[in-house]
Structure 1
Amino acid sequence: MHALHKFLLFHLLMCHGRQSIGSDIINGENVKEKLMLYMASVQNNKGHHKCGGFLIDKNFVLTAAHCDNMNPMSVVLGTHDLKKVDDSMRYNVTRCKHPSFVSVSKGDDIMLLKLSSNVGLNNRVQTIPLPTHEGNTNENEECSVAGWGYTEPGESERRMADELRVVNVSIIKDTVCKEAWNGLPANVICAGGYRTDKGFCQGDSGGPLVCNGVAVGIVSFNHEKNCNYPHYPNVYTDISRYLGWINEILKKNK
């Protein structure tokens, strides 16, 4: 129950995304302007970043189900710098949360956001491909995770970054992750945090774990809000386990 309490505490503290304050990419670096053009900022009605997301189709963004705590909600595409946002970058959304989602501790932490209009793909906005089959990651494979927000793991005197940041993380073996996390939900991938000083933190929720140019995971949860590694792995929803659900929704909305 100790681990479950931490899951629930994490969920309440974040409401996620940067929920009141933000995301952390710990020990990362700024993303170059022409890279990661699929990244989306999920925002509240005041235009404050709350969660990450990523464009998978001209009118759909994929994010975490626990980011569904805002009403109304919008998505910003086409910028790495959240100080440089105009109305042309903002889209209202219709939410499609996975029907089995209850909490991060139970899994199924995945949600599709249908955009109010199709996005014009160009040199500022692009989609990212999803896996084509299950089980597409390998132990120690180097991947990346990106987000907006804090850059330090502690809670005091942290500086939030307006520019998108990225850090490289390695895939952790399932058995190792289950041993570290008591009660780990099904259909997840673990990467970063464990035995390293790199990973995500509050507010990066919903962003993609990217391996070889493919979005394989969605930021779900980590260990407590101070993000002091290296004792626990970071946990992502395994996108490959939800391909049928995703494709069915996209097909219905073509």
Structure 2
Amino acid sequence: MALRMQLLILVLFSVAFLLPPGAQAGEIIGGWEARPHSRPYMAYVKIATWRGVKTCGGFLIRDDVVLTAAHCNDEQGKGIVVLGAHNIRKKEPREPRSQKIRVRRWIRHPKYNKMTQNNDIMLLQLRKRAELNDWVQPIPLPHPWPEVPVGTRCNMSGWGWMQVNPAKSSDVLQDVVLEVMADEVCERNLTKPYDAKSMLCAGDPRGKKATLKGDSGGPLVCDGVPQGIVSWGPSNGASPEVYARVSRFVRWIRTVMKQLTPPDAPGISSRT
């Protein structure tokens, strides 16, 4: 009996050791289902590439512009943005109709670096204006260059992976609360270079909450303002993680939006 008990303990210890930090077998890594349509700025981005379909998050900042991560379309694929959705796999009873709009232009930051993922930000201009209603609304941009205090609790939403092994994505929008961390935490704990000027460090100090694959491009919303864009971090769902610092790019975003030809301008197709 004693030998069997020792063997059982050894097996359980081995299984626990193989789990990624902050994960539990069969459980979501720190998230929960969002209240349907409580994040009307959220966008689900589908990109068709030669390798297949890739998905990312994003957020509406104007009725014809979505903000996401530059690395979401490294392969120059074609895309569709879904707005006003909660369950992206099926239409729920009494749910308002989601809006599916093709991407007209992909505008990556001119200094985006694919290797370091510095300046990991991209604007998507839609082929037609979104119909704004209770379920689809743009979110205001932050002021340029403000500091987000360390310890600020922020909301992150997405349809990405809920667990690492086996990989499992979510049909419904998930929420998770993360904290802004000191730049030194990312500089000390991550393997790639961290640029404090254009990157924001955030995560869960206890290591039980995280964003995962498929959440890239989604917003880190602090006090109702998107301060970060999911960029990169540990592949096992551990903290800390790196976000593009939105305030750093506000002037560039506004300059680009002023130069965009409106979707309903004469001679511009508005096909979805």
Unaligned runs of 5+ in 2: 1-26, 263-272
Could you tell me how far 1:87 is from its partner in structure 2? 9.1
Q: 1:30 to 1:177 in 2, by over 3 A?
A: same
Residue in structure 2 matching 1:206, options 217, 221, 226 = 217
Partner of 1:179: 188
Q: 1:160 and 2:169 equivalent? A: yes
Q: Radius of gyration: which is bigger?
A: 2
Residues 88, 140 of structure 1: CA spacing in aligned structure 2 closer, same or farther, 3 A cutoff? closer
Instruction: Provide the C-alpha distance between the structure 1 equivalents of 2:82 and 2:47, rounded to a whole number of angstroms.
Output: 11
Aligned to 1:90: 100
Matched residues in 2 for 1:237 and 1:104: separation? 15
> CA deviation digits over 1:50-109, x for unaligned, max 9?
100000001000000000135211111111110136996111111001111121624000
Does 1 or 2 have the higher relative contact order (CA < 8 Å, sep 6+)?
1
Q: 2:89, 2:141 → 1: CA distance?
A: 29
Corresponding residue SS for 1:135? coil
Identify which range, 34-43 or 57-66, moves more after superposition.
Answer: 34-43
Whether contact under 8 Å (1:25, 1:201) holds in the other structure is no
Q: Secondary structure at the match of 1:44?
A: strand
* 1:247 partner amino acid: R
TM-aligned CA deviation for residue 155 of structure 1: 2.1
Output one character per residue of 1:25-48: Cα deviation in whole Å (capped at 9) or x when no partner: 731111111311110011034995
- 1:143-196: CA deviation from partner (whole Å, max 9, x where unpaired): 0111103322x322x433200001000000112221223521341111114542
Q: CA deviation at 1:114?
A: 0.1
Aligned equivalent of 1:44, options 41, 44, 47: 47
Match for residue 130 of structure 2 among 119, 140, 163: 119
- TM-score, normalisation: structure 1: 0.81
Q: What letter matches 1:138 in structure 2?
A: P
Evaluate the alpha carbon distance shift between residue 210 and residue 136 of structure 1 in structure 2; reply closer, same or farther with a 3 A threshold.
same
- Measured in 1, the distance between the counterparts of 2:112 and 2:205 equals 26
Q: In 2, Cα distance between the equivalents of 1:103 and 1:34?
A: 33
Partner of residue 234, structure 2? 223
- Partner in structure 2 of residue 59 of structure 1: 64
Mapped contact 2:144–2:251 kept (Cα < 8 A): no
Contact 1:220 1:236 in 2 (8 A): yes
* Structure-2 residue corresponding to 1:31: 34
Structure 1 match to 2:11: none
Question: Per-residue displacement from partner, 1:224-248 (whole Å, max 9, x unpaired)?
Answer: 2x22x2xx41100000001111000
Q: Does 1:243 align with 2:250?
A: yes
Task: In structure 1, give the amino acid aligned to 2:81.
Answer: V
CA contact (8 A) 1:45 1:71 kept: yes
Query: Which letter maps to 2:135?
Result: R
Aligned to 2:257, the other structure's residue is in SS state helix
Aligned length: 225
